[in-house]
Structure 1
Amino acid sequence: MDVEAMDRRKSATKTQTEPLFHVAQKHAHPNPIPSLSPAFSTPVHPIRIAKSSESSKPSILPILLPPATLRPLAFRTLTKKHDLMLTSSALQAFATFIGKHCGSGWREEGLAEKVLDEAAKSWKRNGGGVILPGDGDELKSILRNMERSMSGGKPSQQGGLTGQGNFAFGNTVDSTDSITRPGASVREDSEASLGVSVLGVDDDGDNIGSEDPRRWLRIVGAFEQPRLTYNVNQKHFEAASTATSLLPDPSHKTHLFRHRYNLIHQRLLRNESFQSSSVPSARTRYLQRSSLKIATTQQAYNLTHIANLLGRSGSNHLLLGLLAISPSGVLTINDLTGSIAVNIQHARPVPEDGAWFTPGMIVLVDGVYEEEGSSTGHGLDGNRGVGGTVGGKFIAFSVGGPPCERREVTVGISGAGKDGHTSAGGGFGWVDFLGVGSERAAGSAMRKLETIVLKRDSSENPVQGRVRMVICGEVELENAKTLQALKRVLGLHAAEQACQTPMVVVLMGNFVRHAVMTGGSSGGSIEYKEYFDSLASILSDYPTMLQNTTFVFVPGDNDPWASAFSAGAATAIPRNRVPDIFTTRIKRAFATARAEAEKATGKKADGEAIWSTNPTRLTLFGPAQEVVFFRDDMSGRLRRNAVRFRPLQAEKEPISSIVPDQKMIGDAAAMEEGQELSESMEVDIAVETAESHVPTSVARESATSTGLSDLQTARKLVKTILDQGYLSPFPPSNRPVLWDYAGALQLYPLPTALVLMDPEAPPFAVTYEGCHVMNPGPLAPGGRKGVAQWMEYDARTRRGKTREIRF
């Protein structure tokens, strides 16, 4: 009887279950839009399938949102846009409400800023004051009314709340359009991941052209950037799962190398020169002619892993790996599969004298593998495959850096539209590298906003002066000449009208000549604070600058507290900002200037001083523009650690002894060498037309060999760093790096501009692969009395130039 009852129960369950599965299959909706880039495994953006009006509202999974995490967004939305002061209790109320009704999409889908924006508008309509308390009944009533109108994590307009405004960039869709075009709602939601409201766009878009560009300015420190790692299996970036620490597990050091290698490896595989094709494209032929001369006879280059060299003695291979020095003092190349000794006795750099190659760099090496014990030679260090080292040696013929990738290719900008706006294609367009919004979500909207504000196409530009960034390097506060030069530069810009003052003034260290608290002439902490107090007195003489300009301070290796332990040696990077104990007087000067402006004009001044990290990033209009600031003695470190190749003349002597016509060979060799030098920087068409803005006094010495050498040195430095895509391509013994924060040193995607403050390199402004690299040089250059030099960067043209003035 029990067996029969069980059989009847199973049959009843089966008859009740089968119709449910049939219904589920009937109503299942396949994904109508595939991935935009299946070859790169670009993740598919979630597509909302149109449902009937009878369908239920989308469910939101509540999360626990800490108030500290919501604080930056609440400050930008409520304080910057609506001029409301937020108390801690109100921030807690908003965090609880947003975490409950917006869920995990509060940031990426732009749900939180919509809630904060609607709450601020409701508060103003009800006659609320400047301070928004959280313990009152007014805010609780607003949140209760908003809770009844929430739909899918967004406040519905049917609940009596205001809409998003008329300035929606043409992405609003009505109810019928959402039914006929399922992708329309996706575009609206994706562009709201950064959200125009986050950047303070009002409902009235007609007055947007008269706004201050600083409204869309944001400083992102090295310790504030999102920690992203490249997933090789999914071929996409994902957030790091481990917690950050200044003393992490030793495995994080290995992960640092693996991440650098994986980034460059996937970048190479996406290059057309490493993709086989039956019909070579024009781009492939161009790269073979200009930058990659490693194997010009091939249609596509094939990389070989070091572990796959075993058993293939005498064959030619192209390796991608990290240059390093073995414990026995032998130069080796390492990848994820193994290590092998490299013989560069007959190797030539590519391009010739166009880049530096030091241990710690990831390079491409073309050559022949020779097994250990073969007739042609033996292993350089005598190892036989122990510890992942492949026995034998690799005789290199050519050594070159991995080709750089333009920013447009990385973020997937495919082309320009009728209005000059760009549309996103493949690549990593959905990745938010800096926490200001991804290219696919907000790029086109921000570029349209950038065009409106900066008025690029208009002959009359009322904000012509406001788009400038003044960059001063090596501001040594203990040097009287530096302070005089700074006074002259600030006085020059303070004499301009308030609407013409620069948007940003960047002061880059070292702020003292010697390391602080190491027994040097710079003294201790008391003397260091006095230096900044003297700077505060200088800044107080120019209240117009303090009221209308953002000052950014980027420290150097000699600034505290890291210099107290390094004793003048290279400190670990990224390094933190100057401690607050030394900057109180400068903050007080800015507060006084703002108070005086508000008392005199009745308007609130928003000038501020931002003490940032080294390196630091400046974003303008979200992902539209990115400027990286980095202070480092890089050129000197490259010269000290660079691998030396045999001089080119040494290889030409035996050839010239055989050929009878010596003069003809010499002329041909000179022409070939000059052609290689001119073509080495032709990877980008923009480089051909790039201007190197040298100081006017040096420009008067035109046609001198020194001027040409400075330009060549600048291009060599720029190509070395941008090809590596990393700000510190050195061994940890030469330049220590904080392993968990090494992502702040990545130059991927390439920034719009890079300010590389190197006092040992000449001032320059060079464009390479669409990235404009500048070196302002010291503010008071040595050997030139009474001269102040600085760099001015124009955000409209995205170009910089060196300026100087006498004092």
Structure 2
Amino acid sequence: MDIDPVPSSSPGFGTPLHAFRKTRSNPPSTRTSILPILLPPSTLRPVAFRTFTRKHNLTISSSALQTLASFVGKNCGSGWREEGLAERVLDEVAKSWRRAGGGVIVDEGKGASLKAILQVLEGNMSGGRLVAGKNTPIHEVTSSKLSPNLDSNLISETVPGANTREGGESEEGDLILHPRRWLKVIEAFDIPRLTYHGDMKHFEIAKSKPSLFPAPSHKTALFRDRYNIVHQRLLRSESFQTSSGLSSHSLPSRTLSTGYKLTPIANLLGRSGTSHLILGLLSVSPTGELSLSDQTGSIVLDLGHARIVPEDGSWLVPGMFALVDGIYEQEGHVKGSSLGGNSGVGGAIGGRFIGISICGPPCERRDITLGTRHRQSNSEISSSGGLGWVDFLGVGSERARGPRMRQIQAQYLQTVHNNDGHGRRLKIAIMSEVNLDSIGTLEALKTVFNYYSKLNVTDIPVAFVLIGNFVQEAIINSSGQAGSIVYKEYFDALSLTLSEFPLLLQQSTFVFVPGDNDPWSSAFSTGAASTVPRHAIPELFTTRVKRVFATANAHADRSKMSEPPGEAIWTSNPARLTLFGPLHDIAIFRDDISSRLRRTSIKVGSDAGLKTIDPDENSGLDFEDQSAPRTQHTSPESNAMKSITAIARKLVKTILDQGILSPFPLPMRPVLWDYVSSLQLYPLPTALILADSESVPFCITYEGCHVMNPGRLFPENGLSSVQWIEYDVLRNRGRVREERF
């Protein structure tokens, strides 16, 4: 007896509202049969190229083409061409591959599982056509079932399908969100740990679990990964591919008809008297000699006849990578070394390398790294080269989420423009060296907050970045429990100041970045350079500040649900601040880098050695932006301004060319080996907040990266003034502001 599958709509009578039952007279469901055919991959190639490459900017491998040809021949049969069945199937495969976070090359094991995609699609096909379920679209089925099959070794990004319509259009509910809902602060310990695979030419997630006490092999891997990143970045430069891109301002002066060519150090053996260009790590041997090392060996450097290119353009210190153009002279024995002149690969080779010119590796723009410099007419990102599919920060890759985030940003700005009649500028106020134990600091903060509280709500910064040191001296290491109590009282005083400006607490996000004098790092380093990255200030000291934000938000009018409440975020040093996913990447780092560079830099020429370079010399670098305009006057004020600008340019070029925030030997600036990815500046961020209290405030753009140094919030010049930087996120420009109080 057949049981009625329809439940009763009347419990009292036990009968359904519309009685329909299974009867033998109903015809069975029919399924259109498909006669499989043997489809050669070469026959399917034109359709696959038109669908994957031209329409979706994907490249299909030969093995994947073979798999697709077998699938289309089996499920579409002879109508694959005439009825257009194959093109529809391939189009859905390409969309599913993109949604599953696959890379730009469609191949099994390259970011997503092609077999899993085809398995899902096969269950939704009838008569050679894709048929969605009664309640679930095909794109939702594929996106929900493919996540367990992703390849965790390759870095890619899964685009959320819940808020995206077919074709990549975002729903209206996402487009009207307030920008602070897309503001994310990423701690250094949460940044994906990426390593560059030199042989496979791609980034991988580190498989080992991070530890504060890793194996000694991780120290070697730290420098090997840095070398691989710099080396592949160097080979991507046009100067190493063709002679048309040579530039005397970024590379050693050398004339070659075929461009530059690197020589491994081990290959210098037996080639005495020949000229070479080598890339290596500057280091000091136990005997005190300067040497250059790569993955094949090391050699003693003689810079007595060398010059830096460009002249005084950047600092060079041990721990940095450098390009050296010179001549190899072979000797029978290296002074101070037990290795002979033919010691072989893996050790110090005999002889010395006489440098003629030396410089840091040239920097690479962010759009070149991500492959987004050239765009097509329909605003789609080009598929030529780049690492656009790599999710470097865990907020989504440029190619996967970039178009959607740009649409959300544009829609929000258009909505604000229509509502208040003028455009919106997303601004961030940046303050550094906020010494709460200084008498004038709280008054200086009141001046800044009072300035912004008088503005319109739409002109209030989306974020305030307050950077340490929050105390001038590391008091916790010597005062015991009393030191902790005093430190907490400083933040309690800050909470009283913040409570006077409830509007800012309701409308902005406050980000606190610690310095070397802040707990608990200062308890062990005595105020000296501590290990980086370092954790945020413990919650023990921040409870009163968080309570002030909670009180202010409790009295706020939350009729507009799109506006999130204000909040205080305590993050690590360094940290990343992103807005609209991968569109705006702002790196924040608190360190007195300029003084450390001056103390440990090397000189070349007649004064070659480990000496201090005089910073009061002009630089010949060509930057896109400057902290002060050029002038033709020769007054002492203008000369001083030129000198300040030259120092700022020199600092910016040194850090960005090295592609890391701490290019120093580990004894000089300790680094946690397993978290070195948080210090990498590859690809270049859109902006870098380089909080150096011993350098003057500046805003400079170099290779598309806007670098800002807020200096000291309360300058030690005897004047009652406060200075900070106001950063315009959309224009990617900042300016130094100063107010008297």
Report the TM-score, using the length of structure 1 for normalisation.
Answer: 0.70
Q: Which residue of 2 aligns with 1:384?
A: 339
User: Aligned runs of 1:453-464 on 2, under 5 Å?
Assistant: 453-455=412-414, 464=423
Q: Which residue of 1 aligns with 2:680?
A: 746
Q: Which residue of 2 aligns with 1:708?
A: 642
Q: Look up the equivalent residue of 1:288 and give its one-letter code.
A: S
For residues 82-107 of structure 1, the C-alpha deviation after alignment (integer angstroms, 9 at most, x for no partner) is: xxxxxxxxxxxxxxxxxxxxx99998
Q: Which residue of 2 aligns with 1:226?
A: 192
For residues 178-209 of structure 1, the C-alpha deviation after alignment (integer angstroms, 9 at most, x for no partner) is: xxxxxxxxxxxx9962668399997327x94x
Q: Does structure 2 conserve the Cα–Cα contact (< 8 Å) formed by 1:535 and 1:586?
A: yes
> C-alpha displacement at 1:719, in angstroms?
0.5
> C-alpha displacement at 1:255, in angstroms?
0.2
1:761 matched to 2:709: no
Q: Look up the equivalent residue of 1:745 and give its one-letter code.
A: L
Q: Which residue of 2 aligns with 1:804?
A: 738
Aligned partners of 1:647, 1:323: CA distance in 2, in Å? 19
For the residue of structure 2 that corresponds to 1:308, the secondary structure is helix
1:613 matched to 2:579: no
Q: Look up the equivalent residue of 1:248 and give its one-letter code.
A: P
Q: Look up the equivalent residue of 2:261 and give its one-letter code.
A: N
Q: Which residue of 2 aligns with 1:203?
A: 171
Distance 1:778 1:714, change over 3 A: same
Q: Does structure 1 conserve the Cα–Cα contact (< 8 Å) formed by 2:381 and 2:399?
A: no
Q: Which residue of 2 aligns with 1:692?
A: 627
Q: Look up the equivalent residue of 1:264 and give its one-letter code.
A: V
Q: Which residue of 2 aligns with 1:572?
A: 531
Q: Does structure 2 conserve the Cα–Cα contact (< 8 Å) formed by 1:194 and 1:442?
A: no
Distance 1:700 1:296, change over 3 A: closer
Q: Which residue of 2 aligns with 1:257?
A: 223
1:245 matched to 2:179: no
Q: Look up the equivalent residue of 1:358 and give its one-letter code.
A: V
1:786 matched to 2:720: yes
Aligned partners of 2:272, 2:301: CA distance in 1, in Å? 14
Q: Give RMSD over aligned pairs.
A: 3.9
Q: Which residue of 2 aligns with 1:337?
A: 296
1:591 matched to 2:591: no
Distance 1:542 1:554, change over 3 A: same
For the residue of structure 1 that corresponds to 2:304, the secondary structure is coil
Aligned partners of 1:337, 1:212: CA distance in 2, in Å? 53
Q: Look up the equivalent residue of 2:253 and give its one-letter code.
A: I
In the alignment, which of 297, 311, 327 is matched to residue 352 of structure 1?
Answer: 311
Q: Does structure 2 conserve the Cα–Cα contact (< 8 Å) formed by 1:701 and 1:707?
A: no
Distance 1:618 1:463, change over 3 A: farther
User: Aligned runs of 1:145-184 on 2, under 5 Å?
Assistant: 158-160=133-135
Q: Which residue of 2 aligns with 1:76?
A: none
For the residue of structure 1 that corresponds to 2:429, the secondary structure is strand
For the residue of structure 2 that corresponds to 1:797, the secondary structure is coil
Q: Look up the equivalent residue of 1:578 and give its one-letter code.
A: I
Distance 1:33 1:525, change over 3 A: farther
For the residue of structure 1 that corresponds to 2:435, the secondary structure is coil
Q: Does structure 2 conserve the Cα–Cα contact (< 8 Å) formed by 1:341 and 1:380?
A: no
> C-alpha displacement at 1:53, in angstroms?
13
Q: Which runs of 5+ in 2 are unaligned?
A: 1-35, 77-95, 104-119, 126-130, 141-155, 609-616
> C-alpha displacement at 1:360, in angstroms?
0.0
Distance 1:52 1:352, change over 3 A: closer
Q: Does structure 1 conserve the Cα–Cα contact (< 8 Å) formed by 2:305 and 2:606?
A: no
Aligned partners of 2:679, 2:59: CA distance in 1, in Å? 24
For the residue of structure 1 that corresponds to 2:556, the secondary structure is helix
Distance 1:416 1:522, change over 3 A: farther
User: Aligned runs of 1:637-648 on 2, under 5 Å?
Assistant: 637-646=596-605
Q: Look up the equivalent residue of 1:507 and give its one-letter code.
A: L
> C-alpha displacement at 1:211, in angstroms?
4.3
Q: Look up the equivalent residue of 2:474 and give its one-letter code.
A: A
Q: Look up the equivalent residue of 1:242 and give its one-letter code.
A: S
Q: Does structure 1 conserve the Cα–Cα contact (< 8 Å) formed by 2:698 and 2:736?
A: yes
Q: Which residue of 1 aligns with 2:503?
A: 544
Aligned partners of 1:371, 1:592: CA distance in 2, in Å? 74
> C-alpha displacement at 1:347, in angstroms?
1.1
In the alignment, which of 380, 384, 400 is matched to residue 441 of structure 1?
Answer: 400
Q: Does structure 1 conserve the Cα–Cα contact (< 8 Å) formed by 2:425 and 2:730?
A: no
**% identity of equivalent residues:** 48
Q: Look up the equivalent residue of 1:246 and give its one-letter code.
A: L
Q: Which residue of 1 aligns with 2:521?
A: 562
For residues 318-356 of structure 1, the C-alpha deviation after alignment (integer angstroms, 9 at most, x for no partner) is: 110000001111111000000111111111111111100
> C-alpha displacement at 1:628, in angstroms?
0.4
Q: Which runs of 5+ in 1 are unaligned?
A: 1-22, 57-102, 111-146, 166-189, 650-672, 682-686
Q: Does structure 2 conserve the Cα–Cα contact (< 8 Å) formed by 1:344 and 1:396?
A: yes
Q: Which residue of 2 aligns with 1:272?
A: 238
> C-alpha displacement at 1:299, in angstroms?
3.9
> C-alpha displacement at 1:517, in angstroms?
1.4
For the residue of structure 1 that corresponds to 2:478, the secondary structure is coil
Distance 1:196 1:310, change over 3 A: farther
Aligned partners of 1:532, 1:288: CA distance in 2, in Å? 51
Aligned partners of 1:603, 1:382: CA distance in 2, in Å? 68
> C-alpha displacement at 1:618, in angstroms?
1.1
Distance 1:749 1:194, change over 3 A: farther
1:504 matched to 2:439: no
Q: Which residue of 2 aligns with 1:19?
A: none
For the residue of structure 2 that corresponds to 1:711, the secondary structure is helix
For the residue of structure 2 that corresponds to 1:622, the secondary structure is coil
Q: Does structure 1 conserve the Cα–Cα contact (< 8 Å) formed by 2:252 and 2:323?
A: no
> C-alpha displacement at 1:300, in angstroms?
0.7
Q: Which residue of 2 aligns with 1:130?
A: none
Report the TM-score, using the length of structure 2 for normalisation.
Answer: 0.76
Q: Which residue of 1 aligns with 2:107?
A: none
> C-alpha displacement at 1:598, in angstroms?
4.2
Q: Look up the equivalent residue of 1:228 and give its one-letter code.
A: L
In the alignment, which of 442, 445, 456 is matched to residue 483 of structure 1?
Answer: 442
Aligned partners of 1:737, 1:470: CA distance in 2, in Å? 29
User: Aligned runs of 1:398-409 on 2, under 5 Å?
Assistant: 398-409=357-368
- Looking at secondary structure, tell me which structure has more helix per residue: 1
> C-alpha displacement at 1:401, in angstroms?
0.6
> C-alpha displacement at 1:725, in angstroms?
0.3
User: Aligned runs of 1:282-361 on 2, under 5 Å?
Assistant: 284=245, 287-361=246-320
Distance 1:162 1:491, change over 3 A: farther
In the alignment, which of 654, 668, 687 is matched to residue 734 of structure 1?
Answer: 668
Q: Look up the equivalent residue of 1:268 and give its one-letter code.
A: L
Q: Does structure 2 conserve the Cα–Cα contact (< 8 Å) formed by 1:216 and 1:622?
A: yes
Distance 1:521 1:355, change over 3 A: farther
Q: Which residue of 1 aligns with 2:148?
A: none
Q: Look up the equivalent residue of 1:640 and give its one-letter code.
A: R
1:528 matched to 2:487: yes
Q: Does structure 2 conserve the Cα–Cα contact (< 8 Å) formed by 1:504 and 1:551?
A: yes
Distance 1:647 1:461, change over 3 A: farther
For the residue of structure 2 that corresponds to 1:704, the secondary structure is helix
Aligned partners of 2:375, 2:681: CA distance in 1, in Å? 24
> C-alpha displacement at 1:229, in angstroms?
0.8
Aligned partners of 1:542, 1:616: CA distance in 2, in Å? 26
Aligned partners of 1:757, 1:495: CA distance in 2, in Å? 27
Distance 1:107 1:542, change over 3 A: farther
Aligned partners of 1:717, 1:33: CA distance in 2, in Å? 47
Aligned partners of 1:304, 1:728: CA distance in 2, in Å? 27
Distance 1:253 1:458, change over 3 A: same
Aligned partners of 1:364, 1:600: CA distance in 2, in Å? 59
Q: Does structure 2 conserve the Cα–Cα contact (< 8 Å) formed by 1:318 and 1:365?
A: yes
Q: How many residues align?
A: 623
Distance 1:513 1:198, change over 3 A: farther
Aligned partners of 2:37, 2:351: CA distance in 1, in Å? 62
Bigger shift: residues 415-424 or 305-314? 415-424
> C-alpha displacement at 1:447, in angstroms?
2.3
Aligned partners of 2:503, 2:138: CA distance in 1, in Å? 38
User: Aligned runs of 1:11-26 on 2, under 5 Å?
Assistant: 26=39
Q: Does structure 1 conserve the Cα–Cα contact (< 8 Å) formed by 2:124 and 2:133?
A: no
